[in-house]
């Protein structure tokens, strides 16, 4: 599915979209892009209207010097939704995108019909050591060395060689490499650092939605996790499920941090079933904050 662009508040926003039916917004993780959803896009558009943006500072969207907080990202997704003529949607977020999805549901509940959290951030303190280390002072000066263009090109050459041999890296490895390779671009690295430090420090995740999860009681909520996630422990998903009455919790056995890439058909079937068998939330912002 080809990327499209729209200008919002003078900034270019890239997104992939198509299909018809209930609107579903797919929000990628940190250092990712809408490309992460490619394994599920074609099949999903048979059932839904799909919008998969590149968040500001990611992918092909503008990487201006500005606000990269959860709230700012949530506002950008809301603005894109309205710019494309859609009032409401099922909001799906993976990893950091899960935190954005929860923030959007909190800030703009009138825009959120359902909430789907995939290996989501923002549900506990624990997170991979590497992400914590990258928040240390001076880390931004080491990243250009580790993520330089020659490393990126070497990785691409190896991937191409394996592809010619009929061998492909497992989806989780391919997705992690794609995220790493994106950081060879200086403006992307800077946006990544601002985004990372807004939610993570040396001790782990700084932002938690745990004290507000009770607000999701009336929002149809699906939580998806791989039981081999090395980035964010599955215990966070278990705890969130217990704190959101009526939520649905699905474990993808054998999957890591990217269940939508590792088991795409199962993910599509699950998401489509969730949309088709639940009624969208209808609640005003004032009622939501009672």
pLDDT tens figures, 19-44: 999 999 999 999 999 999 999 999 99
Q: Where are the domains of the chain?
A: 4-126+205-281, 130-199
* Per-residue pLDDT at 139 exceeds 60: yes
Lowest-confidence pick of 120-129, 139-148, 169-178 = 139-148
* Per-residue pLDDT at 15 exceeds 70: yes
Most confident of 132-141, 156-165, 268-277: 268-277
* Per-residue pLDDT at 153 exceeds 60: no
- What tokens does 121 get? 């951030």
The top-level CATH class assigned to 4-126+205-281 is alpha beta
Whether residue 41 contacts residue 16, with contact meaning beta carbons closer than 8 Å, is answered with yes
CA 131 to chain centroid, in Å, comes to 16
* Per-residue pLDDT at 157 exceeds 60: no
At 169 the pLDDT is 53
Q: Give residue 64's pLDDT band: very low, low, confident or very high (50, 70, 90).
A: confident
Whether residue 93 contacts residue 100, with contact meaning beta carbons closer than 8 Å, is answered with yes
- What tokens does 221 get? 């909520």
Residues belonging to the active site:
95, 229, 257
Tell which phi-psi region holds residue 85, choosing left (phi > 0), alpha (psi between -120 and 50) or beta: left
């Amino acid at each position: 599915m080809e990327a499209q662009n729209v200008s919002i508040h003078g900034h270019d926003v890239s997104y992939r979209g198509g299909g018809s039916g209930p609107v579903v917004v797919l929000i990628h993780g940190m250092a990712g892009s809408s490309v992460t959803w490619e394994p599920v896009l074609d099949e999903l558009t048979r059932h839904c209207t799909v919008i998969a943006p590149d968040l500001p500072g990611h992918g092909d969207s503008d990487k201006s010097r500005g606000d990269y907080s959860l709230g700012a990202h949530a506002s950008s997704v809301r603005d894109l939704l309205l710019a494309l003529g859609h009032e409401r949607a099922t909001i799906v977020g993976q990893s950091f995108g899960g935190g954005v999805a929860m923030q959007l549901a909190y800030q703009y509940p009138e825009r959120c019909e359902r909430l789907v959290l995939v290996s989501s951030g923002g549900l506990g303190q624990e997170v991979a050591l590497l992400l914590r280390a990258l928040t240390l002072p001076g880390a931004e000066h080491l990243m250009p060395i580790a993520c330089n263009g020659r490393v990126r090109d070497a990785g691409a050459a190896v991937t191409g060689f394996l592809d010619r041999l009929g061998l492909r890296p497992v989806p989780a490895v391919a997705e992690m490499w794609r995220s790493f390779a994106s950081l060879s671009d200086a403006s992307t690295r800077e946006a990544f650092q601002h985004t990372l430090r807004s939610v993570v420090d040396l001790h782990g995740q700084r932002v938690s939605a745990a004290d507000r999860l009770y607000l999701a009681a009336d929002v149809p909520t699906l939580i998806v996790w791989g039981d081999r996630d090395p980035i964010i422990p599955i215990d966070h998903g278990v705890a969130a499920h217990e704190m959101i009455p009526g939520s649905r919790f699905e474990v993808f056995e054998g999957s890591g941090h990217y269940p939508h890439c590792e088991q795409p058909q199962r993910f599509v079937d699950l998401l489509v079933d969730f949309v088709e068998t639940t009624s969208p939330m209808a609640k005003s912002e004032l009622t939501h904050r009672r």
